[in-house]
């Protein structure tokens, strides 16, 4: 018997095309508002051995003197955007390129493909076991977060950022505040941040945080991803509900959505962490529904490269309809490679019944407070009884009886209410 990794039932065995996004090594997106101190974090990660790709530096490189990028910029905006030494006069270009939306699009069409191509080259040069840190100031604004295995956001209080911009970059306070206001806000960055680094205090503090991030998360994450290493089983410890579970699930689902492409029929956060107020093991259960299991097999390697390695063996959900038809309850299972964010990814066929039952169970618990309370009590009781087992199997076996009976009650609720997934 294998651990309980499914629900329902226990398990028995906007840039142009970005080729660099397909690289299999660990990709870390690093971003933060102007003046937040990204360079401090980036430099420390490089000291640890990270391969740094700086999007701003590449954007300057592709329009350096003698490049075809600069020639195309001059052709589009005129020789007036050149400085006397033949280099790009950035203020002059900004005055022209950002005068209207068409001009901005013209500049982006020149610069972005070249930056993307150069990024792909640098990715290809990195070792297979590299940890690549991509420093992208406008990662949030350009919607790039789902394309990284992990997003690190560096932040600092606005007053700290303004002071830095005035003291170290020579900006006026008015200009500094205007630049900050023009970028994504803290709420937008928090929505995509897997890691939030506060760089508003002493430098040693953020450096210690980066050191811990490298040792405790990035290094094992890279190894799990490269080796397709399964997560060790967890004891059935049930923790109080974490209000951030839905946001964490959405970040993972966004990455899966990019990897699955048009083979995804739907993506859902399921399981106990998807039910507000329900205690649970701190593991996100996610469901990818595909047309057939052949589709699941076709995208298995892509999902693995995206940070969700496929588990070996035969996986199926506990049959609930008494059917003996082979394969009716079969599925594919992937686990999250991020050691700090355990994920169970259940890939189920739209041809089978399990995907619908997982959603029904979730929605029924959300709608029925008494059933929610009863399930919470059962989970706590069983978790306490099996806390010393060192495995989830006994906990799973006993819990399954409650779940099997609950499925029947949930089916009755669905019929009474007209529920549809």
Residues contributing to the annotated binding site for ATP: 35-40
Q: State the binding site.
A: 35-40
Tell me the helices (H) and strands (E) count for the chain, helix number first.
16, 10
Residues 6+ apart with CB under 8 A from 326: none
Q: Exposed e or buried b for every residue in 219-247, given b needs 16+ CB within 10 A? A: bebbebbbeeeebeeeebebeeeeeebee
Q: How far apart are CA 363 and CA 365, in angstroms?
A: 5
Helices (H), 55-185: 55-61, 68-77, 90-97, 101-125, 158-169, 173-182
DSSP string, 219-270: HHHHHHHHHTPPPPP-----B---TTHHHHHHHHHHHHHHHHGGG-SEEEEE
* Of the candidates 102, 125, 387, the residue with the CA atom closest to the CA atom of residue 239: 387
Assess contact for 170 and 129: CB atoms under 8 A. Answer: no
**Max intra-chain CA distance, the chain:** 81
Contact 142, 133 (CB under 8 A): no
Coil, strand or helix at 152: strand
Residue 94 vs residues 81, 89, 403: alpha-carbon distances, Å = 9, 9, 62
CA–CA separation, 115 vs 155, rounded Å? 25
- Which DSSP helix (H) or strand (E) runs through 216? none
């Amino acid at each position: 018997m294998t651990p309980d990794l499914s629900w329902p039932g226990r398990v028995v065995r906007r840039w142009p095309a970005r080729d660099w996004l397909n690289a299999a090594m660990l990709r870390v997106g690093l971003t933060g508002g102007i003046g937040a101190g990204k360079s401090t974090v980036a430099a420390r990660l490089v000291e640890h051995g990270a391969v740094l790709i700086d999007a701003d530096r590449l954007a300057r490189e592709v329009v350096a003197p003698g490049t075809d990028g600069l020639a195309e910029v001059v052709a589009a905006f005129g020789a007036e955007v050149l400085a006397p030494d033949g280099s790009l006069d950035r203020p002059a270009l900004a005055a022209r390129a950002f005068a209207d939306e068409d001009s901005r699009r013209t500049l982006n069409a020149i610069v972005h493909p070249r930056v993307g191509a150069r990024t792909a080259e640098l990715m290809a040069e990195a070792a297979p076991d590299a940890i690549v840190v991509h420093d992208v100031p406008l990662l949030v604004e350009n919607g790039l977060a789902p394309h990284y295995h992990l997003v690190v956001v560096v932040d600092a209080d606005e007053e700290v950022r303004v002071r830095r911009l005035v003291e170290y970059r020579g900006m006026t306070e008015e200009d500094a505040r205007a630049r900050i206001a023009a970028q994504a806000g803290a709420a937008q960055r928090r929505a995509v941040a897997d890691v939030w680094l506060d760089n508003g205090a002493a430098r040693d503090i953020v450096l210690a945080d980066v050191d811990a991030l490298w040792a405790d998360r990035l290094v094992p994450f890279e190894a799990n991803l490269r080796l397709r290493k399964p997560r060790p089983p967890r004891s059935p410890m049930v923790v109080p509900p974490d209000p951030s579970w839905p946001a964490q699930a959405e970040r993972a689902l966004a990455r899966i959505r990019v990897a699955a492409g048009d083979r995804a029929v739907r993506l859902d956060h399921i399981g106990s962490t998807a039910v507000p107020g329900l205690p649970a093991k701190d593991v996100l259960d996610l469901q990818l529904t595909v047309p057939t299991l052949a589709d699941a097999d076709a995208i298995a390697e892509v999902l693995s490269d995206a940070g969700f390695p496929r588990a070996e063996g035969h996986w199926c959900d506990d049959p609930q309809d008494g059917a003996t038809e082979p394969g009716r309850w079969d599925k594919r299972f992937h686990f999250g490679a991020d050691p700090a964010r355990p994920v169970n990814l259940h890939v189920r066929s739209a041809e089978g019944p399990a995907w619908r039952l997982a959603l029904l169970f979730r929605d029924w618990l959300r709608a029925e407070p008494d059933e929610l309370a009863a399930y919470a009590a059962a989970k706590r009781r069983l978790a306490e009884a099996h806390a010393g087992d060192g495995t989830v199997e006994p906990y799973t076996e006993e819990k399954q009886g409650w779940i099997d009976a609950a499925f029947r009650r949930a089916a009755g609720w669905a019929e009474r209410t007209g529920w549809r997934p």
